[in-house]
Chain A
Amino acid sequence: TVGAVALDSAGHLAAATSTGGMTAKAEGRVGDSPVIGAGTWAEDNTCAISATGHGEIFIRHAVAHEISSRMRWGGQSLKKAAEGIIAEIAPLGGSGGLIAVDGEGNVSMPFNCSGMYRGVVRGDGSLETAIF
């Protein structure tokens, strides 16, 4: 699964996610994460999320939307909300991770498994890439 989240200079957020799915998945299964609310979400003033992981768990927990909810109703930071839900779903079989950006430009990229590829670019053009 690949994806991107962004904050633009006007303060707007967006998220995009694309996948081929899991190798040898059941035909017709939509279980990986490009489902609105589960693996993809964007809402100005809170956050934009793109996730990759064991999709059924992400769907059941509406992971991407849950982060936004915790920020709006719980007053949590992006970091606390994003890291919290990824930690909570891990023991339930929810291996994976996500990338997130909030309306102030904070970035969080938590994961609970291996095989994660990440990158971030800031306004000044500075790039970071990492593989775990």
Chain B
Amino acid sequence: MSPVLAIHGGAGVILRASMTADMEAAYHEGLRTALQAGHAVLSKGGKALDAVVAAVMALEDDPLFNAGRGAVFNAEGRLEMDAAIMDGSDRRAGAIAGLCGPRNPILAAKAVMEKSDHVFFAGPGAAAFCRSAGLVMEDESYFRTERRWKSLQDELERRRTGQADDNDEARKHG
């Protein structure tokens, strides 16, 4: 069986039309880094589960992408993270939502899957579980980027002033 890995990387409100050549090159490099991280696992006969974790961690560590270090802000100006993972070999699954803290949210989801009898933890309970599982936790400042903060301010300003939504579909999802 020849292994294969695919990835997607959301970049929030960075629109294709406003992307410079340098930014585009950086995004491609970020995607390649994630692919190489996953391929490094698969090429040694490693598990698909470990490969997807390696690839997602690389994307979470890159502030260009809106997960983990590049997490976006909610309307209250606070960062929240969600992550989920599933192993097709035995239908084990884990997920976390509505917390800020784990340096790599996908490791939190994996810990729920592997170290608890449950599938989904949310909010303060999820954060407590992450700490008890020994995950590396970070302050909110680790995840904050000025670009994400500006995106929030722009969106809140649009709402305050009643400007019409431009209906760009890239804005509609994280």
Contacts and interface: CB of A to CB of B under 8 A. Distances in A.
A121 interface: yes
Contacts of B42: 6, 8-9, 123
A28 B14 CA distance: 24
Interface extent on A, as a size class?
Answer: 35 or more
Interface of B is mostly: mixed
Interface string B124-146: 00000000000000000001000
Interface string B39-71: 100110111110111011001100001111011
Interface of B: 1-16, 19, 24, 27-28, 31-32, 34-36, 38-39, 42-43, 45-49, 51-53, 55-56, 59-60, 65-68, 70-76, 78-89, 91, 93, 95, 97-98, 105-106, 109-110, 119-120, 122-123, 143, 148, 151-152, 155-156, 159, 168-174
B174 A20 contact: yes
Interface string A12-29: 111111111111111111
Interface in A26-78: 26-30, 32-36, 39-44, 48, 50, 52-55
B87 A34 contact: no
Given A19-B81, A119-B6, 7 more contacts: A6-B55, A19-B82, A20-B66, A22-B172, A42-B48, A105-B2, A113-B172
